[in-house]
Amino acid sequence: MDIYTESFQVNTKGETDIIDITEKIRSVLERSGLKSGSLTVFISGSTAGITTIEYESGVVKDLKDAYERIAPRNADYKHNSRWGDGNGYAHIRASLTGQDLTVPFSHGNMITGTWQQIILIDFDNRSRTRECTVQVIGI
């Protein structure tokens, strides 16, 4: 069994910016040279998340709207009172989404659905440069 790890950066706009990173991850898998196993994508930071969706404008808008209903930007967050940075909602949204995703692969290809893309979501209230780490474990 072999392990290959690579990181890449993604510039975001914040404010629940949703970015398709599927091709970046596919490229990492290809560079790993591994053919079968699983890979984990991890986003460092407490105001961003990783998940999958069908990356099309309707679903992207629906997802943003859902986050606003679940953890509204202007709700009363104790984090905002304590730190004064106004991003309490971003921490809650990221926590609910999670910072990692594991995807199996076989014959050098990720096993994902036809319309399933891997996305990074930056919930913070400002633009950021995010660091994604992909760790591939396989043979």
52-93, pLDDT tens digit by residue? 999 999 999 999 999 999 999 999 999 999 999 999 999 999
Which helix or strand (DSSP H or E) is residue 94 part of? helix 88-97
State the CATH class of domain 2-138. mainly beta
What is the average pLDDT value for the chain, to the nearest integer? 97
98-139, pLDDT tens digit by residue? 999 999 999 999 999 999 999 999 999 999 999 999 999 999
Which pLDDT value is given to residue 38?
A: 98
Q: Would you list the domain boundaries of the chain?
A: 2-138
SS3 109: strand
pTM, two decimals, is 0.96
Which pLDDT value is given to residue 4?
A: 98
The three-point CA angle 43-70-47 to 5° equals 25
66-77, pLDDT tens digit by residue? 999 999 999 999
Which pLDDT value is given to residue 33?
A: 98
Percent of the chain with pLDDT over 90: 99
Task: Measure CA of the first residue to CA of the last residue in the chain; give whole Å.
Answer: 5
CB-side neighbour CA atoms (13 Å) of 131:
7
* Residue among 61, 18, 37, 57 at smallest CA distance from 135: 37
Q: What is the mean pLDDT of residues 20-49?
A: 98
Tell me the one-letter amino acid at 73: R
With bands split at pLDDT 50, 70 and 90, how would you rate the model's confidence at 14?
very high
